[in-house]
Amino acid sequence: MRCNRVKNRIHTLKKERAGLTFIRITLILAIISFSGCAGWDTNETGLVTDKAMVVTAHPLTSEVGAAILRRGGNAVDAAVAVQFALAVVYPDAGNIGGGGFLVLRQQDGSVDALDYREKAPGNAHRDMYLDAQGNVITELSFKGHLAAGVPGTVAGMVQLHQKYGSMPWAELVQPAVELAAKGFPLTRKEAKKLNDERSDFIKYNTQRPAFILQDRWREGDTLRLRELAYTLARIRDQGRAGFYEGETAARIVAEMERGGGIISKEDLAAYRPVWREPLRGQVGDYQVISMPPPSSGGIALLQLLNIAQNYPLEDWGWNAARTAHLMVEAERRVYADRARHVGDPDYYDVPVAGLLDTAYIRSRMRDVSLDRATDSDAVAAGAPAPPESPNTTHYSIVDPEGNAISVTTTLNSSFGSKVFVGGAGFLLNNEMDDFSVKPGHPNSYGLVGGEANAIAPDKRMLSSMTPTILEKNGQLHLIIGSMGGSTIITTVYQIILNVTVHNMPMQGAVNAGRFHHQWKPDWILCEWGALGFGTGLKMWWRGHRIAPKSGGIGRAAGILVRPDGRLEGGADPRGDDAAAGF
């Protein structure tokens, strides 16, 4: 009896000590994240032009896009040229071995959306990343040949150009061919990234890629990518067939055979992008046009914006504790819905209308306290009305006619699977990690999922990409999107609120510090100093856990149509991003 009491006391003391340690650690982390002086200039105005604007992740690609517009090309022509040029100068995300989503709005107000997302290979299966005991094999879905989905980028660009392009295809791919063949100077950030990835490039490649020809890259070094130049020249000359057939396809399949991957010749031949009806929703004065599934971006963004409009965020103020708390509580619930209900609509009945139903969205916030954080374990996905019937690195461009395009494209994580296609010089994506490899098991972004996003042959993996266009009173108003995996949605959400509620200029809205909550793990990821000391402390007091995030959250590219009709670019200072225009 006595012995039990002593044991209990020791247990209690241990728990108290663990609790105190937890409090101390949280407090230290909180102080670190609140007190940093990040110097977010939320009043800064970006490049302002009269007619046309291109904002991308790299100064060279913004120039490529602007040059196409100067020659009379439209926004789609510029987008195609930028996509291929990004594959050369911004290889961590720009790609021909990955995929993406885009939303476009023509000058007459008509809209369209293209899904050129990667697909699971035909030989993929639900348990392909599990061992015999049913445990997830670390990194198998994330690095190396098995991590790659069937690329969609080249087919996507061909489709886009065929439907909306105006200049000859070859002229749009040529700038990328030249950049790869002649070489280009590395920025400091790119040189560092290539150095950081060196050991993975060696580990996961069957042939030595150009990226490791040099031991250590420095700012200003010229990177020449001859094999990539030949591949791009085949795409320039043969279009779709230059990638999905012939020499490039043969090299992809040979690479798969050498490295134990499963993308086949048939998978490549069968890949098709899909035109989809963009999601639209009226939020206050704004019509939001965004990406439907298989991206979760549009649904989540519309849910978040719908919730925000029910609260006086403008009066509460930007990043005031109440504002930040409310946004986090909304994010917690929206990401719980994402994990349960959203996947490839060709394989799973996504209850889109139910998730976007105003009454349903309001009901999700019913148990929110304005004084206390909810525990994520107490938040489950809601039960939206079932679907009525079965259905289905960011850049922003505006051309002189007022056509606008919002494109998010990716290899998934930085440099994708790290695997280069031998002899073809390009990286393959690791998009298979965006599937739920096992119910409840977090992917590289910590996202969990279930049946809706389980692996199946030829299925598209769920995305967070959120290419978005806003209209105000029927007129083009804002083109926005970001990189950042699961944080894309909340980055776009915050920037839209910064512009539409907190009245920041485009550049200030992109500069502004960011934070992110995704239901699980149950913490707020917070850029250095983003919340400010007072707000951070109040959030901590309400019971929020805060994890500081070095290196920034998201990298956005925005264009705002100002009241005088001129265009303002917002290029993200977290990267080498740049705006160009005239």
151 φ, ψ (degrees, to nearest 5)? -65, 145
Q: Is 117 flagged in the annotation as binding?
A: yes
Residue whose C-alpha is closest to residue 431's, from 441, 445, 421, 450: 445
- Is 370 labelled a binding residue? no
> Per CB under 6 A, which region of 57-65, 285-293, 361-369, 460-468 contacts ligand GLY?
460-468
Please, is 468 exposed, middle or buried when counting C-beta atoms within 10 Å of its C-beta (0-12, 13-18, 19+)?
Answer: buried
> Taking CB under 6 A as the rule, does residue 485 contact ligand GLY?
yes
- Minimum distance from residue 437 beta carbon to ligand GLY (Å): 14
Helices 59-70 and 169-182: angle between axes, nearest 10 degrees: 150
Stretch of 269-277, 310-318, 356-364, 458-466 lying at the interface with ligand GLY (CB under 6 A): 458-466
Based on its alpha-carbon atoms, the radius of gyration of the chain, rounded to whole angstroms, reads 23
| Shortest Å, Cβ 469 to ligand GLY | 19
Complex with ligand GLY: residue 104 or 465, whichever CB lies closer: 465
SS3 362: helix
- The distance of closest approach from Cβ of residue 394 to ligand GLY in the complex, given in angstroms and rounded to an integer, is 11
Contact between 498 and ligand GLY by CB under 6 A: the answer reads: no
- Specify the 3-state DSSP secondary structure of 419: coil
Nearer to ligand GLY, 210 or 407 (CB): 407
369 is in an annotated binding site: no
Tell me which long-range contacts 363-366 makes (C-beta under 8 A, separation of at least 24).
364/303, 364/307, 364/333, 364/334, 364/337, 365/307, 365/310, 365/329, 365/330, 365/333
Instruction: Report in angstroms how near the CB of residue 528 gets to ligand GLY at its nearest.
Output: 23
Note whether 289 and 103 are within 8 A (CB). yes
- Cβ 412 to ligand GLY, closest distance in Å? 4
- Residue among 373 and 557 whose Cβ is closer to ligand GLY: 557
Residue 189, token pair as written in the block: 């950030």
Taking CB under 6 A as the binding criterion, the range among 12-20, 166-174, 246-254, 461-469 that sits at the site for ligand GLY is 461-469
- Residues of span 393-422 touching ligand GLY by CB under 6 A: 410, 412
Q: Kindly determine how many residues on this chain lie close enough to bind ligand GLY according to the rule CB under 6 A.
A: 8
Rounded to a whole number, what is the largest CA-CA distance in the chain? Answer: 89
Of 312-320, 322-330, 462-470, 565-573, the window that binds ligand GLY (rule: CB under 6 A) is 462-470
Q: Which listed residue (61, 206, 392, 409) is catalytic?
A: 392
26 annotated active-site: no
Tell me the closest approach of the beta carbon of residue 293 to ligand GLY, in angstroms: 12
Residue with tokens 């019971």: 543
Helix (H) or strand (E) holding 290: strand 286-290
Q: Which is nearer to ligand GLY, 152 or 505 (CB)?
A: 152
Question: Which is closer to ligand GLY, CB of 311 or CB of 493?
Answer: 493
97: closest CA among 294, 261, 295?
Answer: 261
Q: Which of 255, 434, 527, 568 binds ligand GLY (CB under 6 A)?
A: 434
Min dist. Cβ of residue 116 to ligand GLY (A): 12
The interface with ligand GLY within residues 463-482 (CB under 6 A) comprises: 463-465
Give the Å distances, CA to CA, from 84 to 232, 233, 413: 8, 11, 18
100 marked as binding residue: no
| Region of 62-70, 211-219, 457-465, 540-548 interacting with ligand GLY (CB under 6 A) | 457-465
Between 341 and 542, CB nearer to ligand GLY: 341
172 is in an annotated binding site: no
DSSP character string of 198-249 = HHHHHHH-SS--GGGSSSS--TT-EE--HHHHHHHHHHHHHTTHHHHSHHHH
Strands across the sheet containing 99-105: 274-276, 111-116, 99-105, 404-410, 395-398, 53-56, 578-581
- Which residues are annotated as catalytic? 392
Task: Mark the binding-site residues for L-glutamate, compressed into ranges.
Answer: 117, 410-412, 434, 463-464, 485
Query: Which parts of this chain interact with ligand GLY (CB under 6 A)?
Result: 410, 412, 431, 434, 463-465, 485
